[in-house]
Structure 1
Amino acid sequence: MSFRLAAYAVCIERGRVLLARHVASQGEPTWTLPGGGVEHGEDPFDAVTRELREETGLEGAVERLLGVDSRMIPAAAARAGVDHQNVGIFYRVRIIGGLLRAETDGATIDPTWTPLGQVSGLRRSSLVDTGMSLAQTVPPTGHVPPTPYGGLIQH
């Protein structure tokens, strides 16, 4: 089994959410939240703003911890072909500067402010729905039910 610890930025402003497309080595790109793997020895609090800057060119300030999501991706659907656990830490992040641009030499393209009403029609990672649910409900436990997969919602 493989494991990944990641930090994700939920940036919602003026009825829009900041998304970017992730281009995997195989398959169609999916829309996702800015964020990614926490490096060895790195604090997830620092990782989320580093990933935001790398993937979108924007500077952010963490406003609050929204919650933690742990999901299992079965081997048949995982990129490496083995069962995979992803633990995602979601933060509400406010944009404080920078210029919106694509990641250089990375797997994330097209950072875009997307109207909230258009998100449900996008082919997207379940991370988007989980992050938006946490941002909208702000549960005291920091946990929401797992996002179901299928249709437009991908692992």
Structure 2
Amino acid sequence: MTRQVLRLAAYGLCIVDGRMLLARYVSPDGTQRHWTLPGGKVEHGEDPFDAVVREVAEETGYAVEVERLLGIDSRNHHADWLGPFGGELHSVGVFYAVTIIGGSLRNERGGSTDLAAWIPATEVEQLERTVVIDIARNMYRNRPATGHVEPVAVGGLLRH
């Protein structure tokens, strides 16, 4: 039987002076690193609104407030890591625009990221990155009234 997993995550898009706040994901075995938005898994019983505030603080050191909901992305794909035969992963991402209200930039210790940085928006395209960055940028640019945009092509980008 194929394993089916639902993953709910919340992400914060923060843009200041043409720079985007990003965090560098590190795989559990330390062999993979790529850029992503600050954010991650919504814990059981946690509201995604609260999860994004917690995740941004954990991964970047900044206290943030949510400005607005950008939208929700839902995608399915096969994940080899879901058991001996892999499985089907249904990822639901809740994307928010966030504003810094306190704290200072620092790297996460002992978590899923190892580096937090402000990256010029003009340089993001050249980064090895997860698709969540492109999804959030698309939502931010288009500001869909329904919160739904056409799926962003994964192509050569990493999934997260």
Normalising by the residue count of structure 1, what TM-score does the alignment of the two structures yield?
A: 0.93
Gaps of 5+ in 2: none
2: distance between equivalents of 1:96 and 1:30?
26
The residue aligned with 2:13 is 10
Gaps of 5+ in 1: none
Larger radius of gyration: 2
Q: Is structure 2 residue 122 aligned with structure 1 residue 86?
A: no
1: distance between equivalents of 2:79 and 2:25?
20
- SS of the counterpart of 1:41? coil
2: distance between equivalents of 1:45 and 1:4?
16
Deviation at 1:150, TM superposition (A): 2.8
Give, as a single letter, the amino acid of the residue that structure 2 aligns with 1:147: V
- Runs (4+) of structure 1 moved beyond 3 Å? none
The residue aligned with 1:53 is 57
Deviation at 1:110, TM superposition (A): 1.2
1:112-131 residue pairs with structure 2 within 5 A? Answer: 112-131=117-136
CA RMSD of aligned residues (A): 1.2
2: distance between equivalents of 1:53 and 1:143?
26
Count of paired positions: 152
Normalising by the residue count of structure 2, what TM-score does the alignment of the two structures yield?
A: 0.90
